[in-house]
Homo-oligomer: A and B are copies of this chain.
């Protein structure tokens, strides 16, 4: 129920066309609907330009295209994550503007990119096998209007590589640290910077890496303050949360 519909209802009541009871019966149900619309409205204002996102995994190419079309109509911006080759083919056929980020396993369709926020998000990853997750985070952040600094292959077993990028890292508003195996990167990074660090464990590793659980536990138990964690391989979640933080900085200026 929109505000004008609500006002119309009240006016019909004032005009004596309906009783107070009838008004209340509508309002008793309305709030939930209202809440829905309100939420969409508020969010549209706050998150303007943020793409709605399609999680591709487990969906057929046809389903992905259909959902993407609906989002495109509303917002002119679509992000599809976890795409396969056949998703990509179908999307490129359906959308001339579709850009396939292969390593990130993402497809982006945009009328025009969002204007970039001022601050940067640094995306670090420990090893080359962590690249797909790091790229998913980076592409997500970029399509949401952020400048992203990629600093890859800076695992803690070769500390000098990490330290040589310290300047770029300390200048970022938020740091996303992606790591599999022992997952020590976020702890080391959070000890070096004073900004929020979002840790992303990856399922890279073997033996007792337990599909990423080992890295996840490492990150949750970080002895460095300021580290928060997202689910294993959840590059999108990290990119999204980092974007919220970076946007907050920009919004509150």
Contact = CB atoms under 8 A, between A and B. Distances in A.
A160 B251 CA distance: 26
A226 interface: yes
Given A27-B31, A31-B35, A160-B36, A244 B220 contact: no
A188 B159 contact: yes
Given A28-B31, A38-B28, A213 B222 contact: no
Contacts of A252: 118-119, 173, 249-250, 252-253
B217 A214 contact: yes
Given A182-B219, A224-B157, A42 B248 contact: no
A68 to B, nearest CB: 14
Given A207-B231, A222-B182, A241-B226, A248 B196 contact: yes
A18 to B, nearest CB: 10
A92 to B, nearest CB: 23
A10 interface: yes
Interface residues of A, number: 106
Copies in the complex: 8
B222 A217 contact: no
20 contacts: A30-B31, A31-B35, A32-B160, A32-B163, A35-B159, A53-B225, A126-B223, A157-B225, A158-B191, A159-B163, A182-B217, A182-B218, A183-B221, A184-B188, A203-B207, A209-B217, A220-B231, A225-B240, A229-B230, A250-B252
Contacts of A184: 156, 182, 184, 187-188, 218
